[in-house]
Amino acid sequence: MVMRKILLPLLLMVCSLAGLAQKAQKKFDRAYQMMDDEKYDSALYLFTSIYNRGIGAPALIAKSYYNIGVIYLELKDSANAKRIFTNIIQSDFDDRDRGGIGEGLMAEPYALYKNRSCNILAIMAVEEKDYAKALKYIEMADKEYPYVHFCGNEYAANDIYMATMYAKCYAGLGDIDRALKTLMPHCINNGLASNSYLVEQLCILLKQKYSREELKQQVNAAISGIYVKETKHPYYTDSAYCAKIFNTEFKLGNYSYYYDYKRAANFNGIELYREQLKESEFVKKLLQ
């Protein structure tokens, strides 16, 4: 879901009422509609006109340039798409411009031009099997131009997406162990965002490296060895049920995400979490 959203065009959410800026806004709206209707050549012409003339709010100009890059992607013009998104990273565009991808209540709050451009360039590099370049861009998206949102669910989705991208890069560079350590902490659904794609990738890597018997032994040891980990903070201490597979720790989700209260009543304490791990999508796919 996150990867698909990254590739969407940006919609300007604020309309100016002043003269030329108003005309530029109308042109932007027309170009956006053409893009939505897959009239890419016409949309490209209008967005390019807005950017080249430099008339309108800075956010309108920046969104027009970003959308030019998205159109080049749709047209399979990778060379021009790379040029646009590389230029955005080097620009003075403000990632905190209001109005990101999507519309309505589910719209992203910020444009995140540079974060999205880094992610797009990373995806393109992975498709070209240039994993070193992909890693460079995914690190930029993670550290230099980080994802920003107001919703914990969206942060959780982004964390899962970033883990899959890091792991693809590590695996592509031959470091399977690092890829596994990157994916494993997210192997259990925490109820905030889907991790199905990550689980699929993790299971593929584990099955490539280990035999079915080795995997079964690790799962059984993880289930029987669940423990409580306490983390001390300045003013409080929190605790979480955890397990390890191939010496990599992961947290188990709150059991209420997985069981109704009647079923939960059949278990006590740590048994709830043992049952959760047994029934998890991760364990089921791993032992198929």
- Within a domain: 207: no
What are the percentages of helix, strand and coil residues in the chain, rounded to 5? 60, 5, 30
The predicted structure's pLDDT at residue 272: 83
Q: Which of 249, 286, 254, 260 lies closest to 273, judged by CA?
A: 254
Three-state DSSP at 277 gives helix
The predicted structure's pLDDT at residue 14: 46
- Within a domain: 27: yes
Decide which of 120, 150, 180 is a domain's last residue.
150
For residue 109, give the CATH number of its domain: 1.25.40.10
- Within a domain: 216: yes
The predicted structure's pLDDT at residue 214: 97
- Within a domain: 31: yes
By residue count, the chain amounts to: 288
The predicted structure's pLDDT at residue 262: 45
First vs last C-alpha separation in the chain = 25
Task: State CA 164 to chain mean position distance.
Answer: 8
Q: Check whether residue 146 and residue 219 sit in a common domain.
A: no
Q: How far apart are CA 240 and CA 249, in angstroms?
A: 12
- Within a domain: 174: no
Q: Which of 244, 255, 263, 246 lies closest to 280, judged by CA?
A: 255
Task: State CA 186 to chain mean position distance.
Answer: 13
Within 10 A of 34 (CB to CB), how many other CB atoms are there? 19
Q: Check whether residue 48 and residue 130 sit in a common domain.
A: yes
The predicted structure's pLDDT at residue 255: 54
Q: How far apart are CA 231 and CA 286, in angstroms?
A: 29
Taking the chain (288 residues) in consecutive chunks of 10 residues, what is each chunk's mean pLDDT?
57 51 89 96 96 89 97 98 98 94 77 98 98 98 96 94 98 98 96 94 97 97 93 85 95 62 55 89 96
- Within a domain: 199: no
- Within a domain: 236: yes
Structural domains in the chain (count): 2
Q: How far apart are CA 139 and CA 119, in angstroms?
A: 9
Instruction: Determine the structural domain holding residue 67 and report its residue range.
Output: 2-150
Count of CA atoms in the C-beta half-sphere (13 A) of 170 = 19
